[in-house]
Every structure is written in C-alpha cells, then in structure tokens.
Structure 1
C-alpha cells in the first residue's frame, strides 16, 4: 500500500516542483520535505493547505483517493489514475504509450 509520504512525492512531481522549491513554499527545509516524503514524519496540515493553492490534491495525499471524483470522473477513470500514480516511471510510460496507440487506432 502506498503511504502518504509517497503520495506527497507523487503530487509534488506531478506539479513539477523539486523538493527544495516545494519546501520553500511552506517554508520548511528540504530535509523536512525529505522526511515527510520518506514517511519519517507527519506532513503539517498548514503545509497541505499552502500546497493546495498550488494544485496539490490534498485528499489524495491524505487518503489515497483522488479529489477528481467530485468532478464527475467514473470509478474506472479513478482506478486508472490510481494505477498510473502508483507505478514507476517505466510503468507510466507504458500506460501513456498504450493510450496513444489506442487513440491512433480510433
């Protein structure tokens, strides 16, 4: 099971921030950011509130469920997003390639 620290890292990377830049938004040190992402500490709720303003999906970080469900995405879409987020970079590339091939055939 993917923990909150890993989901925080996934969200930070999805938003295109380095650890240092994301930490500076709060502000905390890069070491604190590393600890939160590695599960060595609990993410501060005030930090989540600040990052939410930058697009962080707080619900996903805390619960593992995407907030996009409120936007009307089906359970199938949410499962695909969850699989995409929980895999490594080669897995993400494979998912994207399969989707592009299917789109080209359509």
Structure 2
C-alpha cells in the first residue's frame, strides 16, 4: 500500500535531500522526519504548509494524487531545473529568480 509515509519518503528522495535537510524545510528535527517516514508519527499541518512553500506536492503526500501541472509539456531539461529549484533554500530561490529575470529582460547578455 502506498501510504503517506511512503509517499513522503519518495518525495524527499526525488528531491535528492537527506532526512535532515528535508526536515529543515518542514521546520522539524531529523528524528521527527524519520518518524513521519516510518509512520510512527503523523506530522502537524504547519509541517505540510512549510513543505508546500518549498514546492513539495502536499496533495500527493496526503491523497496520492498529483497536483495537476503542465509538466507533460516541459522538456526533460525544464523538469530538471524545476526539480532542482524546489530543493533550494528561499534565498537561493530568490537569487535564481533574479538571475532568470535579468536574463529574460536582456539585462545580462545571454
């Protein structure tokens, strides 16, 4: 059976994060993350909200259904960029956004 705990572990691994780093995204300690992934504890809603702010698909975690996205329209390179972007810290995400804006607006030479 594909449980919340199993899906949580799958999502963390898909992002290439350790339990410690993923736990930090959710605002919890690594031991709490381990308990969530082994179905010993159920996380609070604040944890799920924090994960969603880092691009984790919380609908999938809870229900097993993916949030509808137009990912099928993306190339492999575009999907890779999105996956890597989602694993970044907020300050790193901001830096990437600023760089992408500057490149698309022609501020920086392409």
Bin for the TM-score computed over the shorter chain:
0.5 to 0.7
TM-score, length of structure 1 as denominator length: 0.61
1:34 to partner: Cα distance? 0.3
RMSD of aligned Cα (Å)? 1.8
Larger radius of gyration: 2
Residue number in structure 2 paired with 1:38: 38
Residue number in structure 2 paired with 1:7: 7
Higher helix fraction (1 or 2): 1
After the TM superposition, which segments of 4 or more aligned residues of structure 1 sit over 2 Å from their partners?
71-74
Q: How does 1:20-35 map to 2 (within 5 A)?
A: 20-35=20-35
TM-score, length of structure 2 as denominator length: 0.59
Q: Does structure 1 conserve the Cα–Cα contact (< 8 Å) formed by 2:36 and 2:43? A: yes
Gaps of 5+ in 2: 73-110
Question: What is the aligned length?
Answer: 72
Gaps of 5+ in 1: 75-106
1:25 partner SS: helix
